[in-house]
């Protein structure tokens, strides 16, 4: 049984991996534009995730590199903390109708995408698979 610190670390890694998947090109641009000019740290995250490894350490390195390159928020600036209110429903919205959401196809990260009119379902930057459809 894990303690609260392990769960928090796992949750942080899932949020950060979702941020990498969602904002991959922007992160690459930030790394190329930084003093190091090297995309290596993000490629390490992608390789580790593709190989089924524990991405926590490679995410920590990427986070630190972004911070060292002048972004004080690092990967946390790319995360979507809006999911913290997911359980709330605004007045007038029925909870009887299930909402659609698209999630990480492998269930490894916390990425989610809400359907939008005329927008194609995004693909995972790690596996290339389309995000998986779920009903809430």
Residue the block writes with tokens 């926590």: 56
Closest CA to 7 of 64, 70, 56: 56
pLDDT confidence of residue 19: 92
Contact in structure between 2 and 63 (CB atoms under 8 Å)? no
- Residue 95 falls inside a structural domain: no
Residue 43 lies in a domain: yes
CB 104 within 8 A of CB 124: yes
Q: What residues contact 37, with CB distance under 8 A and at least 6 apart?
A: 31
Per-residue pLDDT tens over the stretch 78-103 = 886 534 333 334 545 444 445 778 89
Residue 29 lies inside a defined structural domain of this protein: yes
**Residue 122: inside a domain:** no
Instruction: Output the pLDDT for position 103.
Output: 92
Range of the domain at 39: 4-77
**Does residue 34 form part of some domain?**
yes
Q: Mind giving me the DSSP string for 25-92?
A: HHHHHHHHHSSS---HHHHHHHHHHHTT---HHHHHHHHHHHHHTT-TTGGGGT--GGGGGTT---TT
- What is the pLDDT, as a whole number, of residue 68? 84
In a domain, 61, yes or no: yes
Quick check: is 125 in a domain?
no
53: tokens are: 């490894």
pTM: 0.64
On whether the CB atoms of residues 106 and 134 are closer than 8 A, the answer is no
State residue 119's pLDDT score. Answer: 85
**How many domains would you assign to the chain?**
1
Q: Is residue 87 part of a domain?
A: no
What residues of the chain score a pLDDT lower than 50?
1, 82-89, 91, 93-97
């Amino acid at each position: 049984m894990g303690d609260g610190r392990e769960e928090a670390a796992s949750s942080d890694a899932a949020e950060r991996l979702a941020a990498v998947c969602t904002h991959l090109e922007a992160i690459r641009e930030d790394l190329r534009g930084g003093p190091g000019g090297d995309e290596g740290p993000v490629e390490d995250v992608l390789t580790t995730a593709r190989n089924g490894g524990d991405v926590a350490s490679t995410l920590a390195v990427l986070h630190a590199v972004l911070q060292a390159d002048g972004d004080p928020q690092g990967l946390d600036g790319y995360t979507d903390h809006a999911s913290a209110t997911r359980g709330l429903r605004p007045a007038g919205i029925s909870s009887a109708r299930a909402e659609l959401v698209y999630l990480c196809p492998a269930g490894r990260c916390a990425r989610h995408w809400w359907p939008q009119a005329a927008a194609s379902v995004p693909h995972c930057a790690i596996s290339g698979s389309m995000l998986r459809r779920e009903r809430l």
